[in-house]
Amino acid sequence: MAVKYWLMKTEPTTYSIDDLAREKDQTTCWEGVRNYQARNTLRDDIQEGDRVLFYHSACKEPAVVGTAVVTRGGYPDSHAFDRRSKYYDKKSDPENPTWFMVDIKLDQKFEKPVTLAQLRDRSALKGMVLLQKGSRLSVQGVKKKEFDTIVKMASAT
């Protein structure tokens, strides 16, 4: 199966790329996604070895701040079964889970984040889901070309 490319949003006040960098093995489970479209992507489409753009949203300077690698494809989000978790959902049945998550490992933290404004400036990126009006999907596909363009932008001086 070919490697695929994704973008995942997070609010840095909740969980930032520096939090990921501090994790054991720089790996974490991407729990708490509670949107059906994103759930379908996590459950059905994201596989081990896929690449991820790590995006900071709802903050001073929204930006892609680094990349990560998927180390485990979609599996049930156990937080939904944990009454004490803020992601608890009593409607999710452990026998037939509603919500899914993946594991990701930090690949590269960009020295210079690629800001939303910079992304909008690139005509090659015009088709990105992130840049569409009203788009608020927290887990979304990106094209290889888009992924490569953004990584290149991060390393340009």
Partner DNA sequence: GCCAACGTTGGC
Q: Which residue has the tokens 């070895």?
A: 49
What is the smallest separation between the CB atom of 44 and DNA, expressed in angstroms? Answer: 16
Q: In angstroms, rounded to a whole number, what is the distance separating the alpha carbons of residues 115 and 64? A: 6
- Contact positions with DNA (CB under 7 A) in 131-150: 133-138
Q: Which is nearer to DNA, 3 or 117 (CB)?
A: 117
Q: In angstroms, rounded to a whole number, what is the distance separating the alpha carbons of residues 32 and 40? A: 14
Instruction: Give residue 119's identity as a one-letter amino acid code.
Output: L
* Region of 33-41, 70-78, 93-101, 142-150 interacting with DNA (CB under 7 A): 33-41
* Region of 44-52, 72-80, 100-108, 129-137 interacting with DNA (CB under 7 A): 129-137
Instruction: Give residue 107's identity as a one-letter amino acid code.
Output: D
What element of type H or E holds 136?
none
Structure tokens, 70: 């998927």
Q: Which is nearer to DNA, 58 or 124 (CB)?
A: 58
Structure tokens, 143: 């094209």
Binder to DNA among 26, 27, 35, 85 (CB under 7 A)? 35
**Residues lying near DNA in the complex (CB under 7 A):** 9, 11, 35-37, 57-59, 62, 116-117, 133-138
